[in-house]
């Protein structure tokens, strides 16, 4: 046994040395060994948080250890970008899976524990590790109510998530991606259900876990089919394979019929996994409920990193998606449909954190649409900008929740930015809202504009219509974003504390030393006039993180002007597997034929109202954003004297049931409950009865017969000697009669 283990360790070490000494397949070069430290540092932090839990540390030490380790990982990610972007590099940490069942092609399965580094990897890891560091610093103050085992548990799961995300992004093969994919799903379950004593948090965690498992089945099947068809799951080998190169050539020549159906099915299966992880129709319902977790979890996992994993999956395997005439059109329609549906729901919600959750779902729809419109650069740029401004928005909402005893209802808060100590939160919220609304010259304006313009440039089934729908969605986004800002952060000063005690914070625990805050649900006075509750403004850590993120949200706009069209992010994308320049440079008519379109459609789809979409979209999207902000200003700020009411309330009767249905999220959860959950519940009880009555009944019946015979015979064993003599005599007589009958 020890010898076998020793051989395995020696083989892994030998494989590491070999990987550092020899070039990789597919043209990728050997990467430096220190790349391994980027995912390793979060694991070190997990171990240190575990030691803190064992030692029963009741300080902020786990948070500071986390910030140091993740900060070091960000520094290495920056070094990785400076030294390795622009090429393909593979670093193998361990020979993980390697077995063969024959000598022919496709009869050897290899999946190293290795890391594939190109420009796309560098882009994702820069904001994953950078935001993780800042949010960990924010959480050091935000989660301070739970110092002790809970604090250690939170940061251990936090670091484990960053490790899983690093494996997902940096993995050199689809198996590593799947390992990270399942890891972030597990960590999402742990962090959403952090407040395990609250039933709604537990239910939300289970819902997220189950919905993600549905999508993960599609991803698993896609990975398996990739190996069956291409004979490899390694990125470097896959992208350089003769089959894939042949399919790309057939696509450029317009011979889509030469690409087999199995190759076109692979991206469809991968797409299902992407829909589950990135909360797209019909698997989006878990993300809004995930707001039951602590706000730092919402900012990290459900705004900046985990939910963009689906976008990353499609971008990473983009060559496969380009070879399917089904995958990208489905992605386009699903993405746009998700964006519009989520925006309509966000318009009608009153919980500001939940509004931001539906906004995330909607913006993810924009990203998927960008990928489908062959604007992988626009999609990646929107991922990049969205990571900063949406993290800012979530953390601002968390600061409000933290200071107002869990209050998130926009009808019970007003003028927060004017209150003492809340100025930084108000400014950061304004910057985040401007970006989300696509205000001119903000980072969100440029990234969203790239996607909108490509909708009218790229030919495809109904893409022009989808472009108009996205423009409508952009206007709705500007409206509901500033609906929150005008209602909560400016206007007359007013507040009501939430239902939670201060130490409960988000949705929490019972701890020693809790002190209650009184509720004043009927009080309409300004704060400070006799209220027993006094909101506490955020401290240094929260304000510092909000100031940095707000600054990064502004600076991110500058990335658009670095280099050619699309800027810095576009350059990184074009130097990776997500590049689409070669497609646009191909024969347009042949490409359209390959995608199911016609060359004559190019003229209709290449313009916007007779103008170049890339030039006029700046003005169109800006005008739509201004309209959305103006409507929110009129309906939710002008003339408002109380927090609870606004001019918009007078419009609700004219909308009839539409407003009610939007507030109830279009009854999608109820529909799923009726169509799926209830039938499964009934079916499970039916199977339970069948198992108990039929299966167990047959087993019990077979066991009853010998038991009945035994009970009958047991009465003869009385222990009385003359009774035994009588039975013996009777037995002898019976034998004698039997022999006599036989002899006759």
* pLDDT, block means (10 residues), the chain with 744 residues: 40 39 58 92 96 92 95 96 89 89 82 93 94 94 90 94 95 94 93 91 92 93 94 92 89 83 94 94 92 89 84 94 91 96 94 94 95 92 94 94 90 92 94 94 92 89 92 96 94 86 43 36 42 82 95 93 83 87 45 43 60 88 94 92 88 87 90 90 91 84 80 76 82 89 84
DSSP-derived letter for residue 351 is B
pLDDT at residue 74, as a whole number: 96
> Do 333 and 466 meet the contact criterion of CB atoms below 8 Å apart?
yes
pLDDT at residue 581, as a whole number: 53
pLDDT at residue 512, as a whole number: 35
Tokens 């954003």 locate to 625
pLDDT at residue 501, as a whole number: 53
pLDDT digits (tens, 9 = 90+) for 462-477: 899 999 999 999 999 9
H/E element, 30: strand 29-30
Angle at 187 between CA 369 and CA 169, to 5 degrees: 50
Strands 29-30 and 89-100, how do they pair? Answer: parallel
Residue in 316, 296, 88, 17 with CA at minimum distance from that of residue 180: 316
Q: Which residues contact 104 (CB under 8 A, 6 or more apart)?
A: none
DSSP-derived letter for residue 28 is P
Distance CA 135, CA 158 (A): 10
Strand partners, 608: 611
Tokens 């991968």 locate to 270
Q: What is the 3-state secondary structure of 53-120?
A: HHCCCCCCHHHHHHHHHHHHHHHHHHHHHHHHCCCCEEEEEEEEEEEECCCCCCCEEEEEEEEEECHH
pLDDT digits (tens, 9 = 90+) for 690-717: 988 888 888 888 887 788 888 777 777 7
Q: Looking only at Cα atoms, what is the longest distance across the chain?
A: 119
pLDDT at residue 743, as a whole number: 85
Q: Which residues contact 459 (CB under 8 A, 6 or more apart)?
A: 592, 595, 597, 601, 602, 605, 606
The HSE-up count of residue 349 (CA atoms within 13 Å, CB side) is 21
Q: Which two three-digit tokens encode residue 733?
A: 């007589």
């Amino acid at each position: 046994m020890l010898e076998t283990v020793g051989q395995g360790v020696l083989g892994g070490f030998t494989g590491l040395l070999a990987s550092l000494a020899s070039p990789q397949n597919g043209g990728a070069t050997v990467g430096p060994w220190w790349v391994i430290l980027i995912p390793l540092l979060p694991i070190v932090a997990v171990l240190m948080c575990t030691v803190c839990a064992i030692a029963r540390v009741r300080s902020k030490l786990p948070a500071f250890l986390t910030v140091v380790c993740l900060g070091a990982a960000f520094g290495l990610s920056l070094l990785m970008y400076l030294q390795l972007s622009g090429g393909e590099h593979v670093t193998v940490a361990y020979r993980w899976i390697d077995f063969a069942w024959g000598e022919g092609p496709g009869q050897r399965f290899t999946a190293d524990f290795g890391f594939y580094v190109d420009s796309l990897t560098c882009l994702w890891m820069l904001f994953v590790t950078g935001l993780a560091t800042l949010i960990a610093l924010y959480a050091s103050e935000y989660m301070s109510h739970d110092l002790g085992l809970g604090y250690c548990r939170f940061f251990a799961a936090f670091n484990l998530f960053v490790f899983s995300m690093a494996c997902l992004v940096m993995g050199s093969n689809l198996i590593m991606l799947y390992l990270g994919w399942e890891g972030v799903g597990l960590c999402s379950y742990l962090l959403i259900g952090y407040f395990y004593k609250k039933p709604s948090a537990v239910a939300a965690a289970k819902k997220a876990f189950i919905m993600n498992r549905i999508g993960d089945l599609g991803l698993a099947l896609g990975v398996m089919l990739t190996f069956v068809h291409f004979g490899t799951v390694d990125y470097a080998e896959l992208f350089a394979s003769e089959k894939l190169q042949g399919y790309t050539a057939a696509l450029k020549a317009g011979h889509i019929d030469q690409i087999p159906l199995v190759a076109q099915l692979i991206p469809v299966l991968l797409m299902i996994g992407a829909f589950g992880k990135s909360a797209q129709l019909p698997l989006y319902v878990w993300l809004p409920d995930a707001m039951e977790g602590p706000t730092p979890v919402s900012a990290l996992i459900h705004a900046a990193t985990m939910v963009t994993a689906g976008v990353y999956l499609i971008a990473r395997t983009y060559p496969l998606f380009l070879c399917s005439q089904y995958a990208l059109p489905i992605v386009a329609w699903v993405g746009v449909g998700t964006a519009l549906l989520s925006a309509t729901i966000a318009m009608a919600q009153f919980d500001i954190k939940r509004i931001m959750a539906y906004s995330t779902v909607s913006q993810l729809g924009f990203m998927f649409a960008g990928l489908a419109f062959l604007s992988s650069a626009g999609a990646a740029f929107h991922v990049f900008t969205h990571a900063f401004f949406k993290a800012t928005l979530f953390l601002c909402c968390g600061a409000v929740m933290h200071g107002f005893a869990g209050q998130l209802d926009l009808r019970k808060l007003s003028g927060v930015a004017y209150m003492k100590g809340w100025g930084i939160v108000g400014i950061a919220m304004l910057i985040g809202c401007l970006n989300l609304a696509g205000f001119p010259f903000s980072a969100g304006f440029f990234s969203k504009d790239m996607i909108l313009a490509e909708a009218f440039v790229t030919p495809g089934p109904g893409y022009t219509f989808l472009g108009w729908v996205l423009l409508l969605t952009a206007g709705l986004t500007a409206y509901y974003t500033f609906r929150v800002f005008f209602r909560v952060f400016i206007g007359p000063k007013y507040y009501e504390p939430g239902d939670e005690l201060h130490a409960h914070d988000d949705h929490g625990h019972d701890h020693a030393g809790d002190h209650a805050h009184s509720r004043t649900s009927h009080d309409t006075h300004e704060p400070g006039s006799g209220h027993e509750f006094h909101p506490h403004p955020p401290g240094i850590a929260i304000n510092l993180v909000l100031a940095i993120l707000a600054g990064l949200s502004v600076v991110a706009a500058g990335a658009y002007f670095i280099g050619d069209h699309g800027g810095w992010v576009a350059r990184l994308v074009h130097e990776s597997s997500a590049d689409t320049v070669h497609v646009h440079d191909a024969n347009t008519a042949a490409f359209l034929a390959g995608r199911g379109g016609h060359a004559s459609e190019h003229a209709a789809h290449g313009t916007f109202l007779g103008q170049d979409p890339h030039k006029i979209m700046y003005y169109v999207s800006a005008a739509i954003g201004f309209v959305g902000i103006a409507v929110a200003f009129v309906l939710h700020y002008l003339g408002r004297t109380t927090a609870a009411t606004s001019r918009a309330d007078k419009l609700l009767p004219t909308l009839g049931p539409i407003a009610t249905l939007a507030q109830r999220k279009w009854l999608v959860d109820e529909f799923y409950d009726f169509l799926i959950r209830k039938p499964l519940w009934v079916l499970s009880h039916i199977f339970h009865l069948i198992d108990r009555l039929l299966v167990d009944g047959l087993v019990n019946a077979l066991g009853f017969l010998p038991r009945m015979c035994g009970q009958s015979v047991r009465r003869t064993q009385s222990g009385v000697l003359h009774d035994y003599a009588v039975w013996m005599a009777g037995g002898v007589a019976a034998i004698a009669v039997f022999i006599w009958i036989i002899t006759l």
